[in-house]
Structures are given as C-alpha cells and as structure tokens.
C-alpha cells in the first residue's frame, strides 16, 4: 500500500509540475515551520521533541524541492525570539535539533548557501558559534540562497535595523541629527538581517494557523501569503507545488 501511495504521489507531482510550467513563480519563498509538537502528539509520541526531529529532517527535502522548482531564495523560520523564553528543559533539546539541522544542510556536497539571521546575541554562546561556523562553510557555493531564522522576531529586526543605520552613520563621522532628518525606508531595508532578503514574494505557514506572528514584518508588505493545514513534519512536495499553483493564480497588486 505504501509503495502504491508513493507511485501515485510521484505521478501527481509530475502532473503539478507540468501545470506550473511557464507560470509565474516566486523568487523568494519564506516558510514558517509550524506544527511540530502537534504532529508528535497526533503520531502518539510521548516526547514532543520527536516532532522537531522529524521536522528538522524535512528541511533538507524542502530545500531540494525548492531547488527543483527554480526558487532562488528561501527563508526558514525555525525559532522565534519569543521561543527563547521557553523552559530550559524544552529549549535546550530544541536548540540541539536546530544545530543538527543546520549542520546537515551546510554539509559538504549540499548546493545551498546558508546564512543565519536573527538576534544571535540572545542565543546561548555555543549555539550561536555552531550555527555561524556551519553557515561559513557554505560561503560562495552559489545556488539556492537560504536564510535560517533563529531567535528571530520581525519587530526586533526593525529595531536592530534602525540601530545599525545610526551606528554606521556615527562610525563614519556623521551627526545622528542629520540622519534622523533624512531617515527613509531604505535605511531600514539596507540594514535588515539578510542583505538579500528585502523583497519576499511568498510566505507559507503550515499547521493551519492563519497569522504571520511577526515573521518578516518589514519584508512581507507586498508578499502573497498561503496557509496550509498540513503540520510541518507531514509537509510534502505536493503541498509545496499546490502552494506555488496558488501563487501563480494570483494577481499581484502590490498594495493597489
């Protein structure tokens, strides 16, 4: 039965790919990896960390599907800054899984260029070091650009962007009053965590929740949003292709 299901799914994937041929597709896809704990409970696991482990393993598949779909840039939200307030007994194992996941997608032979974004100074020192060292191995690889958001919050990113703009201006010998007088949108856009992440075309949230929770708050101004009921560990290539089909059917108005 499992083999039959896999064969039918492969046929459907090919059909969806044919239907998407020549249609508009997003350059930058951002995804909220939501529903890991609910999946674990629904699958009968006593330890909800199993959901995070399965969800972490799913990331590699997702990046391969995005590569196949000719997506150029992906942002993965793995941990919010609010999540950092969870009890140590829950947060510690979750950070371990995130470290393992990042090391896996940064491993030699993988074609992706990884950048860690977020308030890394809020992470435990060892976690921040592990993530930065893993991502550094991918510098210059080219291919799919992947931002991994850890300790990330959209409001915090905007505050940090404003601070960074003033820090640069002052370090260059400028008067902060001059910058305050001329401060504009570009001063924030140019100082976001990801220099390549100014424009997000398409945001996907798994698990059925229908809110952005501050994800890419600045970059999502004109993004199309797609909510899917599937919990992240159960997310399939079919679900991505259906989301891309939804994107292709939309008339992007950019606020008009």
Annotated catalytic sites, by residue?
34, 83
Give pairs for 90-98: CB < 8 Å, separation 24+.
Answer: 93/49, 93/52, 94/49, 94/52, 95/123, 95/124, 95/127, 97/49, 97/52, 97/53, 97/56, 98/56, 98/127, 98/131, 98/150
Give the three-state DSSP class for 159: helix
Contacts of residue 239, Cβ cutoff 8 Å, sequence gap at least 6: 228, 230
Helix (H) or strand (E) run with residue 113 in it: strand 113-117
226 pairs with which residues across the strands?
A: 204
């Amino acid at each position: 039965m499992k083999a039959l299901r896999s064969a039918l799914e492969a046929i459907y994937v090919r059909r969806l790919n044919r239907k998407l041929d020549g249609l508009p597709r997003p350059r930058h896809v951002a995804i909220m990896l939501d529903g890991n704990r609910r999946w674990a409970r629904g699958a009968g696991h006593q330890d909800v960390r199993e959901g995070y482990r399965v969800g972490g393993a799913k990331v590699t598949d997702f990046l391969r599907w995005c590569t196949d779909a000719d997506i150029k840039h992906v942002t993965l939200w793995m941990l919010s800054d609010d999540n950092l307030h969870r009890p140590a007994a829950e947060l510690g194992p979750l950070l371990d899984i995130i470290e393992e996941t990042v090391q896996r997608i940064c491993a030699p032979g993988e074609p992706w260029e990884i950048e860690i974004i977020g308030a890394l100074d809020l992470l435990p020192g060892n976690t921040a070091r592990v993530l930065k060292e893993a991502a550094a191995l991918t510098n210059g690889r080219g291919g799919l650009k992947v931002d991994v958001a850890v300790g990330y919050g959209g409001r915090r990113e905007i505050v940090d962007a404003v601070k960074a703009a003033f820090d640069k201006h002052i370090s260059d010998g400028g008067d902060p009053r001059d910058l305050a007088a001329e401060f504009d949108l570009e001063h924030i856009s140019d100082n976001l965590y990801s220099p390549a992440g100014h424009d997000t075309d398409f945001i996907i949230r798994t698990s059925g929740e229908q809110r952005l929770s501050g994800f890419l708050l600045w970059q999502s101004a004109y993004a199309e949003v797609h909510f899917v009921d599937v919990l992240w560990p159960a997310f399939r290539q079919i679900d991505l292709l259906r989301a891309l089909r939804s994107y292709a059917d939309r008339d992007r108005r950019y606020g008009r």
